[in-house]
Amino acid sequence: QVQLVQSGDKVVTAGDSLRLFCTATGQTDLTYGSAWFRQLPGLQDREFVGGILWSGGHVNYATSMQGRAAISRDSTQNTIYLNIDGVRPEDTAVYYCAAGPMYGLRAAVDTTPASYSSWGQGSQVTVSS
C-alpha cells in the first residue's frame, strides 16, 4: 500500500504560478503511475489534471491544462510536482494526488479516479482575482 502526503493549502493571485507536491511512502514500485485531480467548488466529481508514469516518466495532461501545467517526478524523493503557470480564478479547487499500478504497455496514466488505489489528503487552492 502506498501512502501519499501532499503540500498544504495555497492562496495565490491570478496570473501567478502554483506549485504543489506529493510524496509517496510505503510499497512503491515502477509499475505505478501518479496523477493530479481536482474537485471544483460545488461539484462532486474529480477531474483529471495530468499524470506521470513512474517508469519512463511519460506525462499526459487534460486538454484544458496543456500548455499551462507541468508534472514532474523526483525518483530519489518519491515526490511528484504539479506546476501551473498563469493561474486563473477558475483553477480554484481542491487538488488531490493519486497513485496506483498501471498495468500493461502504456505511454500514459489512466484519467479516471477509479484507476487509483491511493490518494493524498487534498490541498485547497484558492486563486484570487
One digit per residue, pLDDT tens: the chain, 129 residues? 899 999 999 999 999 999 999 999 998 788 899 999 999 999 999 999 999 999 888 999 999 999 999 999 998 999 999 999 999 999 999 999 999 999 887 889 999 999 999 999 999 999 999
Coil, strand, or helix at residue 110?
Answer: coil
Distance of CA 98 to the CA centre of its chain: 7
pLDDT at position 99: 96
Residues ≥6 apart with Cβ < 8 Å to 14? 87, 88, 89, 127, 128, 129
CA distance 69 to 34: 15
Look up residue 76 and give its three cell numbers.
Answer: 530519489
Residues contacting 68, CB < 8 A, separation 6+: 84, 85, 86
Say if strands 47-53 and 59-61 run parallel, antiparallel, or are unpaired.
Answer: antiparallel
- Reading the block at residue 36, the C-alpha cell is 493530479
Q: What is the pLDDT of residue 64?
A: 93
